[in-house]
Amino acid sequence: MNDLIRQAIAAEADERVDSRTVLAELHKRRKSKPFGLIIGVATLTVAAAAAAVIIPTTIKKTDAAPANAPVAEAQNVLLIGTDETHRSDALVLARFEGDGSATVISLPRDIYVGASPDRLNSLYMQDPRRLVDAVEQLTGTRVDHWAAVNMAAFGEVAAAVGGVEVCLNAAVNDPYSGADLPAGKQVIAGDQALAFLRQRHGLPLGDLDRVKRQQAFLAGFAAKITGETGPVLARLVGKAVQVDEGWDVVAFATRFQGPVKIRTSTLLVNQEVVRDSAYGYAVDPAQGKKFVEEQLSGKGQAGTGCVD
Amino acid sequence: MGFDQFVADRLDRLLGYATAITCDKHLAQDIVQDVLMRAQGKWERIGAMDAPYLYVKRMVTNDYLSWRRRKAAKEIAVERSELAERVPSMADPADAHAEREAMRARIAILPRKQRAALVLRFYEDCSDAEIAQVLGCAESTVRSQLSRALQTLRAHELARSATLGVHS
């Protein structure tokens, strides 16, 4: 009878749930923030840079544009910040209105594509068109063009506009990122700009605060872009930017006449899942579409105050 | 051993153990999750022990045996006892699968502590001393729990064979 008992107990134990489900739950509980839902976060230091860089690049082209260009149509552009190994590190869906104002939505790069084990950040290397398709599905929004920016160019870019104004609620001194900044309004550039964007240790809300920093930086950066700084920036980053074939960048650029107004937000994700032993976020396409629609129709927040 | 390493090594086994004593994979999942969250908070102490797994298993077992889980355990027992009643009439004595399922149903309706002792012995291969440690009782109590459980299962087994014998 003992063997039978052994078999029966083993059969009962075999009913156990997949340990990966439990791992994901533990991971989620450990990370859960006061907001109650997990905010997926675009890590990118550089997503902000991606958005900021494409604008000056196109401004340069404006010089050659006909003076009496027709009023531009709104266009949706996927901005891809890549690292030195050409991986997409930051993803931003941006809608540029005819008047040059922009709405940008950071897309967490760890979002799973549909039901597959692929995450967004793996698609760009495979084929930029696959990434574009996946983003269209996720957001229910047409993507007209894409631009990829090598983020390594970013430090110089920030310096080229004479620094970017940001405001910190409290002084920071973070050995991980090298961020060493006083409280209050200040102009940052170069290494400190990168550290400001990269810091994730010691922030009250962790990654959520980091995205706020990126967005604050982006807003400050956009405010510095003018017809004068544009050409300089364009020269700096021209080689670091790649756009899809068939994008008439000159026509696109006619909309930028002065400092760019930007509204920013981050796609909310609330369900963390594990596939092939890797953590990521699953996003319900219906929710993603609703969120993106609301943001693009002007409900996103303009500007940012001081950040943590 | 670090907490993450412990979880990576032992989580699946711990879930199997919890499922076997609770006879309900969802209750088992809840318990294991709760326990691991608590264990993480005091991992400095647990991780430094000789047998962290034994200690965590004890936490899981205590959680299940606690009054908080009594209601959940009762509901499962009722469900399983209905199942147990149906199994003999459906079973073919030559069918090993049916035999095993019948035994499973009978184990599921044992008192909780007896079942925990049984699982520790037959699934975790624990000694009397280890079981005593996990259940927080004397070794003599372990022996009496086990013998009572086996007695019950044997009585059922005999009754079942007799019933099936009449029908065949």
> What is the complex's ipTM, to 2 decimals?
0.88
Judge whether A187 lies within some domain.
no
Interface contact flag, A17 B28, Cβ < 8 Å? yes
**Average pLDDT for A257-265:** 67
pLDDT at A36: 20
pLDDT at B15: 96
Task: Give the B-side interface with A, CB within 8 Å.
Answer: 7, 11-12, 15-20, 23, 25-26, 28-29, 32-33, 36-37, 40, 99-101, 103-104, 107-108, 118-119, 122-123, 150, 153-154, 157
Q: Which of B73, B62, B67 is nearest to B22 (CA)?
A: B73
Judge whether A296 lies within some domain.
yes
Most confident of A161-165, A197-201, B143-147: B143-147
Judge whether A176 lies within some domain.
no
pLDDT at A40: 18
- Nearest-Cα distance to chain B for A45, in Å, is 28
What is the per-residue pLDDT across B1-47, written as a single tens digit (0 to 9) for each?
Answer: 788 889 989 999 999 999 999 999 999 999 999 899 888 878 888 98
Q: Which of A6, A10, A17 sits opposite B25 (nearest CB)?
A: A17
The two tokens of residue B116 are: 């925990």
Judge whether A86 lies within some domain.
yes
pLDDT at A253: 60
Which residue matches tokens 């009250």?
A: A204
**Average pLDDT for A183-203:** 81
pLDDT at A80: 81
Which residue matches tokens 């997503």?
A: A47
Q: Is A150 helix (H, G, I), strand (E, B) or coil?
A: strand
- Nearest-Cα distance to chain A for B31, in Å, is 11
Judge whether A249 lies within some domain.
yes
Judge whether A174 lies within some domain.
no
pLDDT at B10: 93
Q: Which of B7, B19, B29 sits opposite A13 (nearest CB)?
A: B19
pLDDT at A206 over 80: no
Interface contact flag, B17 A13, Cβ < 8 Å? yes
**Average pLDDT for B49-61:** 92
Q: Which of A5, A17, A22 sits opposite B118 (nearest CB)?
A: A5
Judge whether A307 lies within some domain.
no
Interface probe with B: pick from A6, A16, A21, A277, most Cβ of B within 10 Å: A16
A96 pairs with which residues across the strands? Answer: A75, A102
Q: Which of B25, B155, B164 is nearest to A22 (CA)?
A: B25
Domain around A294: 2-152+222-302
**Average pLDDT for B73-89:** 66
What is the per-residue pLDDT across A232-259, written as a single tens digit (0 to 9) for each?
Answer: 665 565 556 677 777 766 566 666 665 6
Within 8 A of A4 by CB-CB distance, chain B residues are 99-100, 103
Q: What is the mean pLDDT of chain A?
A: 71
d(CA A81, CA B159): 72
d(CA A284, CA A47): 23
From start to end of A122-269, where are the E strands? 145-150, 164-168, 172-174, 179-181, 184-188, 241-243, 262-266
Overall number of domains in chain A: 1
Confirm or reject contact between A10 and chain B (CB < 8 A). yes
pLDDT > 90: percent of chain A? 8
Interface contact flag, A29 B19, Cβ < 8 Å? no
The two tokens of residue A88 are: 């997409």
pLDDT at A91: 78
pLDDT > 70: percent of chain A? 61
CATH number of the domain bearing residue A286: 3.30.420.590
pLDDT at A192 over 60: yes
